[in-house]
Structure 1
C-alpha cells in the first residue's frame, strides 16, 4: 500500500518516527512529507533513512514528476501526524502553500488526522470548527490523548501513541470508521504487581505476581487514549512509558494511593495481587534463628478490602466528580477446592465486592503468575453474558480495555 505520511510542526513529531517504522515494517511504501516547521524538530535525513525514500516539502523539487498532483493521486492512504492546529486550519480552508497541503487537496483515498497541540488550542472554537469541517468532508480526525503536555501542563492534546494511530489507519483503509480511541479524555488508574508485607527489616510476606498483566493493561489503556496512572507494587517488569507511576509496597500504602487516585479517575482497575493478611507486628531487627529459642509465632491480621472500599466510596459519591459514572474493575485470582470451582467463587466475589466488572483467572504454581499468556473470564455485575479472553497478556488486556470502553458507553448515573 502507498502511504503519504505528513508530519506537522510540533514537538510530537519525534514520535512519528516510530509510526513510520510500523508502516514500513508492515510492508507499506511510505512517502514522508514534513512541513518546513516539522524539519526544525526532526530533520529530513531521519525521514529518508527510515522510509528509504527521498523527502521534500517543496512543490519545486522534481517538478517533472508533478509531485504536488501525483502523490495525492497515487496514495492509498494519507496520514497527518502530528496534525497541529495550523495544519488542521489549512486543511479545512483548502490552502495549498506547500507540498503537503497540495497533496491533501489531491488525495483520492482515505485521510487520517492525528491531532497534537496544547489543550486550549485543541478546545478553541476555531479548532473545533475546523475538525468538524474536515469530518464533514469525510476525513477521519482522531481525538487526541490526554496527559502531560510540553512543560508542566496536562490535559487533552497529546499525540496518540504510534501503534494506536497505526491501528486506526489500518481500520480506516478497511472501511471501518468506528475506530476512535475508546478512552480518549478518560483518566484510568491501574494497580499492578504484588504487595509485600514486612516481617522484619529483611523479610516479608509476598506473592508470585510479576506485574506483567497490570503493565499490559496500562499499555492498552494508554493506547486507547487514556491518561493512565499506574500504582506499582513489586513488579518484575518496568512500567511502560507515557504513564504516571506511583510506587507502593504494602497493602496499606496501596489503599492510600488508590483512594487518592480514584478522586479524579473515570476507571479504576485493581489488577494488583494484594496481600489479604499482614503481620500484626513488625520486628525492628532481623528475627534470629537460635537453637536456644522457640520457633517464632507470626500472628496475622486482615488487610483492608481496597476494592470493596473503592466501590462503597464511589456509591456514596465520595470519589469526586466522576463518581456517578466511575467504572470499577476487580481481578480475582482463584483456585477451586472441594467446596466450589473457580467460577462459583468468582461469582460470589463479584456480588460481595459490588464492582462493575470482575476479571477472573485460575491461578496455580504453573499458571498466570510470571507467564506471558493468560486466560480470563470477564464477569459483569449487570448480569450480561460472561466474556472469555485468552492469548498473550497484551491480547487479554486489549479485550479488557475494549470491554471497559463498551461499558463506559452504557453507564448511566447511579442511584
Structure 2
C-alpha cells in the first residue's frame, strides 16, 4: 500500500470475537494501522492484551478512561479512522447503534465518526432473522453503512443457519475492496493519459539574447500535479521555469516553440487529453546570430517570422482527444476566447485576463472563465492555481464522458 490506511476494529461481545484477533493481525501484516475497541462483553471472550500485542497499539475499552489529557479519546479515535470495521457486530450493538444509544466506548465513538463503516453481524440464526434486528440493520444501511453478510452453517449455540461471522479472509477482502473502490472514486483519471504544456518558450537571437514572455509555468504545473493526484498518467512538456519538478510525472524540457511542437505532436496520438497551458512565442527571429551581436547603431531592427501554431496543429489532427487551450488576454476576454476555441477546434478554452491583479503571469492565483464547444460557460472567482486546476479537470472529465 502506498500509504497506511487507518482501520478502527470494533469488537462486540460474542464467541466470534476470537476471529477478530486474526483479522487484526492480518490487517496489521498487510500494512494497515489498526486500533481496536473492545466492549465489556467482548472482554469476556478475548483480552485487550491480545489485540495490543497483535497491533502494537493501545486498546480502547472504557469511554471514561482518558489517558491523554490533550484529547477526548472517543472523539480523537473517531476522527483518526479512515474506515471502521465492526466484527463481530452483535444484535445488542446493532440495536444501540441504529437507535443512537451511546453508552460505551464503541457506541460513543461510532456516533462521532465520519468514517465509512463496514459491519459484520454474528448471532443466532433466529436473532438474525428477528424483525427488530432486521429493522435495525435496515436503519444502519440507510446511514450508508455496508454489511458483510454472515455465513450459514453450524453456530456455536448448536443451531444451523445464517449468523456465523464471515471468515477473517472475507473480512480482510472487504477492507481491501473498500479502499480499491475508494481509490477509484478518489482517482477518477486512473488509466487516462494527459499531456500538459506549461511555461514560456524562448526564441534565440544570439548566444546571449532571446525573446520570451512572463509566463512562470505555475498554472500548467498545477494542472499536471492535480491530474497526477487524480490518477492520470501525466506528461508535462515545459519551457524554462524555476519551479520544482512534480513527482511521478514524465517531464520533457524544451526551449523553443519548435521544440514544444515536436515534443507535443510526437506524443499526441496516444493521449486522451491535451491541455495546452504554455505561453508560446508567436514569432521567432528570421536570423539567429552564431556570435554575440555587437552594438552598431542607435536602432536595431530585427525581422521576425511566425512560429508554428501548436494549438492549431493539434486541432487539425484531433481524433479522440479532448483538447483544451488557454487564452491569456488583456481585453475582450470572452470574445477572443470563443474565437480561439472555434478557430482551433478546441473542446474547451480557459480564458484569463492577465491584466487583472491576482490573475496575471507569476501569481499564485487565477481568475478564469471556461467556455465549451456547446456554448456553455463557467465563470470562477479568484482561486489558487491548484484549486483552479481542480475546476478545469472537473470540466475535462465531463467532456470525456461525451
Same fold flag (TM > 0.5): yes
1:313 is matched with which residue? 317
Q: Which secondary structure does the structure 2 equivalent of 1:199 belong to?
A: strand
Larger Rg: 2
Provide the rounded CA distance (Å) in 1 between the counterparts of 2:361 and 2:25.
43
Q: Which secondary structure does the structure 1 equivalent of 2:190 belong to?
A: coil
Residue from 51, 58, 66 that aligns with 2:54: 58
1:350 is matched with which residue? 341
Residue from 364, 373, 393 that aligns with 2:355: 364
Pairing 1:228–2:234 present: yes
Question: TM-score of the superposition, structure 1-length normalised?
Answer: 0.58
Pairing 1:255–2:261 present: yes
Provide the rounded CA distance (Å) in 2 between the counterparts of 1:61 and 1:78.
14
Q: Structure 1 residues 285 and 184 mapped into 2: Cα distance closer, same or farther (>3 Å)? A: same
Provide the rounded CA distance (Å) in 1 between the counterparts of 2:378 and 2:309.
24
Q: Structure 1 residues 309 and 258 mapped into 2: Cα distance closer, same or farther (>3 Å)? A: same
- State the Cα distance separating 1:144 from its structure 2 match: 5.4
Provide the rounded CA distance (Å) in 1 between the counterparts of 2:217 and 2:25.
38
Provide the rounded CA distance (Å) in 2 between the counterparts of 1:331 and 1:396.
13
Paired residues of 1:212 and 1:393 also in contact (CA < 8 A): yes
2:302 is matched with which residue? 298
Pairing 1:327–2:322 present: yes
Provide the rounded CA distance (Å) in 2 between the counterparts of 1:32 and 1:294.
81
2:215 is matched with which residue? 209
Paired residues of 2:52 and 2:58 also in contact (CA < 8 A): no
Paired residues of 1:78 and 1:111 also in contact (CA < 8 A): no
Q: Which secondary structure does the structure 1 equivalent of 2:383 belong to?
A: strand
Pairing 1:193–2:193 present: no
Unaligned runs of 5+ in 1: 1-9, 21-30, 43-54, 81-102, 113-129, 146-178, 315-322
Cα shift readout 1:244-276 (whole Å, capped 9, x = no counterpart): 111011000000011112121100000000100
Q: Structure 1 residues 345 and 199 mapped into 2: Cα distance closer, same or farther (>3 Å)? A: same
Q: Structure 1 residues 303 and 262 mapped into 2: Cα distance closer, same or farther (>3 Å)? A: same
Cα shift readout 1:255-313 (whole Å, capped 9, x = no counterpart): 001111212110000000010000111100011114xx563321100011111111111
Q: Which secondary structure does the structure 2 equivalent of 1:229 belong to?
A: strand
Q: Which secondary structure does the structure 1 equivalent of 2:391 belong to?
A: helix
- State the Cα distance separating 1:142 from its structure 2 match: 3.3
Aligned residues: 279
- State the Cα distance separating 1:78 from its structure 2 match: 5.0
Q: Structure 1 residues 64 and 299 mapped into 2: Cα distance closer, same or farther (>3 Å)? A: closer
Q: Structure 1 residues 385 and 111 mapped into 2: Cα distance closer, same or farther (>3 Å)? A: same
Q: Which secondary structure does the structure 1 equivalent of 2:271 belong to?
A: coil
Unaligned runs of 5+ in 2: 7-23, 34-50, 63-73, 84-116, 122-139, 147-169
- State the Cα distance separating 1:212 from its structure 2 match: 0.6
The CA RMSD measured in Å over matched residues stands at 3.9
Cα shift readout 1:5-39 (whole Å, capped 9, x = no counterpart): xxxxx4x34xx4xx88xxxxxxxxxx999633549
Provide the rounded CA distance (Å) in 1 between the counterparts of 2:394 and 2:59.
47
Q: Which secondary structure does the structure 1 equivalent of 2:367 belong to?
A: strand
Q: Which secondary structure does the structure 2 equivalent of 1:360 belong to?
A: strand
Paired residues of 2:350 and 2:371 also in contact (CA < 8 A): yes
Paired residues of 1:33 and 1:56 also in contact (CA < 8 A): no
Pairing of 1:10-409 with structure 2 (within 5 A): 10=1, 12-13=2-3, 16=4, 35-36=28-29, 38=31, 58=54, 65=61, 78-79=81-82, 134=174, 139=178, 141-142=180-181, 179-290=185-296, 293=297, 295-314=299-318, 323-324=319-320, 326-336=321-331, 341-364=332-355, 367-409=359-401
Q: Structure 1 residues 59 and 65 mapped into 2: Cα distance closer, same or farther (>3 Å)? A: farther
Q: Which secondary structure does the structure 1 equivalent of 2:382 belong to?
A: strand
Q: Structure 1 residues 259 and 64 mapped into 2: Cα distance closer, same or farther (>3 Å)? A: closer
Paired residues of 1:389 and 1:396 also in contact (CA < 8 A): no
Paired residues of 2:25 and 2:55 also in contact (CA < 8 A): no
Provide the rounded CA distance (Å) in 2 between the counterparts of 1:110 and 1:378.
35
Question: TM-score of the superposition, structure 2-length normalised?
Answer: 0.60
Q: Structure 1 residues 32 and 365 mapped into 2: Cα distance closer, same or farther (>3 Å)? A: farther
Cα shift readout 1:131-156 (whole Å, capped 9, x = no counterpart): 9x959x994633758xxxxxxxxxxx
